[in-house]
Amino acid sequence: MMKTLYLKKGKEDSLKRFHPWIFSGAVHHIDCEPEEGDIVRVADSDGNFIACGHWQIGSIAVRVLTFEEREIDVSFWSERLQVALDVRRSIGVAGRENNTMFRLVHGEGDNLPGLIIDIYGETAVMQAHSVGMHVCRMQIAEALKQVFGDSLKAIYYKSETTLPFKASLGQENGFIYGKSDTNVAVENGLKFHIDWLKGQKTGFFVDQRDNRSLLEHYAYGRNVLNMFCYTGGFSVYAMRGEAKLVHSVDSSAKAVELVNANVALNFPDDNRHEAFAEDAFKYLEQMTTPYDLIILDPPAFAKHKDALKNALRGYTKLNAKAFEKIQPGGVLFTFSCSQAVDKDQFRRAVFTAAAISRRKVRILHQLHQPADHPINIYHPEGEYLKGLVLYVE
Ligand code: SAH
């Protein structure tokens, strides 16, 4: 029997606008204390049904799964996953030979708050950000098998670092279905090793796919610096785009290994590429190569709102260095993946950097997350990736 949570009077307004979160301050009482991860029925102060969702401890008390009164079972999950797959097919990233990796489920953006699923060829990598999704993982795995059929060989569950620490679930990463024979997946015809075992996030940053394609068109004949390269997505596209040389930089030695392996996979024995394990600021300060195409894709500088001011300063400092060093006629691809920094704040930080360097700068493109990382229109908080492509005179 599902427990019912009653809202304080008038606190149902945001839910009537389909916002998928209920904050703890809106809760009047629950008819019986649930355990974290339980599915609860949410009612207004008069007892009228409003939604069903996962109960959690913290400032968000419930993440809504559905605004319809229905059972949350395997068929619920498979309906949601089927819609998500249909969306990916219709935007042209799923069901293709030259692109076998994409994000299938992007949390609230796919009406599945707390759940991320990335597809890498025959393997799905699943990540729970809430105890509720963790509790439901085997049902979700079952639904994934139903939706994909034989084309899915393995499901890797990777939630060791994403589940709330306080829930002390002691969850370890591992396969919850099958095993994968290969860790190579294809993005726009380029091959990549995906390190879901140890890599960041689910093993690859699928969210830069479209931006990498755009970069490919700018690469011809240029000296490219891919700063914060991680697995080297941008580097490999720059190689295909006939860059003159490509340098990849990351402070992590592991990333340097990954980028070298991915370049070798696509362009064996091509000496246009070199990778360096070095701190970004140090490298930018000391570099002597005349780069005329620079990519800056740093990790999130602000994980929370209270770190905002420092984060903005960090973006300004980093971009100012790039403006100072880039060749005349150079192109800068600069990004922020901090959810706490909105696109106007980011643009202002980059504008300040341009002004400090006194260069003439034109905005050529304004970039964002791709269509397989959709934003639920009722949950604008889902917007996180933004970028600018700039021409530096
Ligand atoms: N551009 C990548 C994703 C970048 S993730 C892609 O398309 O896949 C951010 C990367 O920045 C990580 O690999 C991390 O190791 C690296 N990093 C973090 N701090 C750094 C620093 N100070 N200098 C250089 N690299 C850094």
Token representation of residue 268: 């064996």
Q: Is the pTM of this model over 0.75?
A: yes
Regarding the beta carbon of 252 and ligand 1, being less than 6 Å apart is answered yes
CATH topology of domain 205-392: Rossmann fold (3.40.50)
Q: CA-based diameter of the chain, in Å?
A: 71
Stretches in the chain below the pLDDT threshold 70: none
Token representation of residue 67: 């605004």
Question: Ligand 1 pocket: which of 196, 230, 260, 337 to mutate (most atoms <8 Å of CB)?
Answer: 230
pLDDT at 304: 78
In sequence order, which residues have a C-beta less than 8 Å from that of residue 196 and are 6 or more positions away?
A: 120, 123, 125, 156, 158, 183, 202, 203
Distance 298 CA to ligand 1 centre (A): 5
Alpha helices in the chain (DSSP H): 13-16, 74-90, 131-135, 137-148, 209-218, 233-240, 253-266, 280-286, 308-325, 343-357
In sequence order, which residues have a C-beta less than 8 Å from that of residue 183 and are 6 or more positions away?
A: 120, 123, 193, 194, 195, 196
pLDDT at 234: 98
Specify whether the CB–CB gap between 72 and 347 falls below 8 A.
no
- What is the CATH architecture assignment of 3-66? Roll (2.30)
| DSSP annotation of 327 | P
Specify the residue with its C-alpha closest to ligand 1, atom 20: 251
> Distance between CA atoms of 246 and 225, rounded to whole angstroms?
6
> Which amino acid type is present at position 133?
M
- What is the CATH architecture assignment of 74-187? 2-Layer Sandwich (3.30)
Regarding the beta carbon of 255 and ligand 1, being less than 6 Å apart is answered yes
Residue 266 phi/psi, 5-degree rounding, is -100, -35
Domain boundaries, the chain: 3-66, 74-187, 205-392
pLDDT digits (tens, 9 = 90+) for 251-297: 999 999 999 999 999 999 999 999 999 999 999 999 999 999 999 99
pLDDT at 48: 96
**3-class secondary-structure state, position 14:** helix
> Distance between CA atoms of 26 and 7, rounded to whole angstroms?
6
> Which amino acid type is present at position 100?
T
Specify the residue with its C-alpha closest to ligand 1, atom 8: 205
Residue bearing tokens 């070199």: 274
Q: Choose among 74, 96, 78, 94: nearest CA to 86.
A: 94
pLDDT at 199: 85
| Entry field: residues in the chain | 393
Token representation of residue 13: 């307004």
Q: Choose among 215, 252, 217, 221: nearest CA to 233.
A: 215
pLDDT at 167: 77
The answer to whether 229 is a known catalytic residue is: no
pLDDT digits (tens, 9 = 90+) for 149-163: 999 999 999 998 899
